[in-house]
């Protein structure tokens, strides 16, 4: 009986939270884009106090990687909290951003990358990969890739909340951007099955988080356990790959960039060597893109763990 009661309370609480989120979503789609800044500032200060563990991890990473301490580290870390809170607000306003209503999006996509997306859209290229990071406005980058690839689905790996109410909401919200969320546990199997069947698919990877059992290669100058799935798929299926970033100049003004990656030089190499070279290159590109606006990255990730996997490549 107690368990059932707790379940009901959890459901009621989840619905209450989502009512607030939906109301905020309606507001940010109607309010001018400049108003997102003070809203995000207030919310980020609340999160700074509430998310104690995330705050300490952010400060530790900033000190270890950027060499900042004291007030400088605190200022930088708060700026990262603010940027990531603003991403949440921008996600709620994404239909408006995609439609370019009261916002500015400068798009710089090279001809080769645009050609890949056009061919995916027409079904001529059955399988392609987008690479990015949790930097800037990554939701807008994914939404733009998805819009250009439709009707081919853009599939994103997700660790969905255990609460089914939250999970359903996230699926519906992301599907509104054209993104298809696939549970992290079955993501690779789903991609492989679609690739083997030749079903048009664009898969979007954010490759800047710790991955247990990955490959240790330098990330922002320090060894980090890195996902190898994109490199494996690129090599195995000769899949065209795009690298993208989306930097916020201010709330309502974004610069979105994408380029095609060329890994033809890895053809003919042993599988392990090819995967390592591609993974290293992706880490270098992600590190460079973060440096465009370092405070817009999610510095609270446990990115540099001392023990993360058995397989190691010294950087």
Give DSSP secondary structure letters for 63-102. HHHH---HHHHHHHHHHHHHHHHHHHHHHHTHHHHHTTSS
* 155-195 tens-digit pLDDT: 988 877 777 777 787 788 788 888 888 888 888 888 888 88
Rounded mean pLDDT, 30-59: 95
Query: In angstroms, rounded to a whole number, what is the distance separating the alpha carbons of residues 8 and 10?
Result: 5
Rounded mean pLDDT, 19-31: 83
The set of long-range contacts for 247-250, using a CB threshold of 8 Å and a minimum separation of 24, is: 247/135, 247/136, 247/137, 247/292, 247/293, 247/296, 248/83, 248/86, 248/136, 248/137, 248/293, 248/296, 250/34, 250/37
Q: Which residue has the higher pLDDT, 9 or 65?
A: 65
Rounded mean pLDDT, 79-101: 94
Any alpha helices (H) in 164-270, and if so which ranges? 164-175, 187-197, 229-237
pTM for the full predicted model: 0.88
Query: In angstroms, rounded to a whole number, what is the distance separating the alpha carbons of residues 207 and 229?
Result: 9
Q: Say what the pLDDT of residue 252 is.
A: 95
| 3-class SS of residue 61 | helix
Q: Say what the pLDDT of residue 19 is.
A: 81
* 207-252 tens-digit pLDDT: 998 888 889 999 999 999 999 999 999 998 889 999 999 999 999 9
Average pLDDT value over all residues in the chain: 88
Does the pLDDT of residue 3 top 90, yes or no? no
Q: Say what the pLDDT of residue 15 is.
A: 64
Q: Say what the pLDDT of residue 20 is.
A: 77
């Amino acid at each position: 009986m107690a368990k059932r009661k707790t379940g009901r309370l959890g459901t009621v609480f989840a619905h209450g939270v989502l009512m607030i989120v939906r109301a905020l979503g309606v507001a940010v789609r109607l309010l001018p884009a400049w108003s997102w800044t003070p809203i995000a500032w207030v919310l980020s200060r609340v999160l700074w106090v509430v998310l104690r563990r995330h705050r300490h991890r952010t400060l530790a990473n900033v000190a270890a990687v950027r060499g900042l301490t004291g007030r400088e580290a605190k200022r930088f870390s708060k700026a990262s909290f603010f940027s990531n809170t603003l991403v949440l607000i921008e996600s709620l306003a994404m239909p408006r951003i995609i439609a370019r209503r009261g916002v500015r999006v400068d798009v710089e996509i090279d001809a080769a990358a645009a050609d890949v997306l056009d061919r995916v859209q027409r079904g001529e290229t059955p399988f392609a990969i987008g690479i990015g990071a949790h930097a800037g406005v990554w939701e807008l980058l994914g939404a733009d890739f998805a819009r250009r690839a439709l009707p081919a689905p853009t599939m994103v790996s997700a660790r969905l909340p255990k609460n089914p109410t939250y999970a359903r909401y996230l699926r519906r919200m992301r599907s509104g951007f054209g993104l298809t969320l696939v549970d992290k546990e079955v993501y690779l199997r789903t991609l492989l099955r679609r690739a083997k069947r030749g079903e048009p698919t664009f898969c979007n990877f954010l490759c800047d988080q710790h991955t247990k059992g990955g490959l240790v290669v330098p990330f922002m100058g320090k060894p980090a356990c890195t996902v190898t799935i994109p490199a494996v798929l690129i090599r195995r299926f000769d899949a065209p790959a795009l690298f993208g970033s989306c930097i916020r100049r201010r709330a309502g003004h974004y610069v979105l960039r994408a380029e095609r990656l060329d890994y033809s030089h890895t053809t003919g190499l042993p599988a392990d060597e090819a995967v390592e070279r591609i993974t290293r290159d992706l880490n270098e590109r992600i590190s460079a893109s973060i440096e465009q606006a370092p405070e817009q990255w999610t510095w609270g990730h446990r990115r540099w763990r001392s023990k993360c996997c058995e397989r190691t490549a010294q950087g």
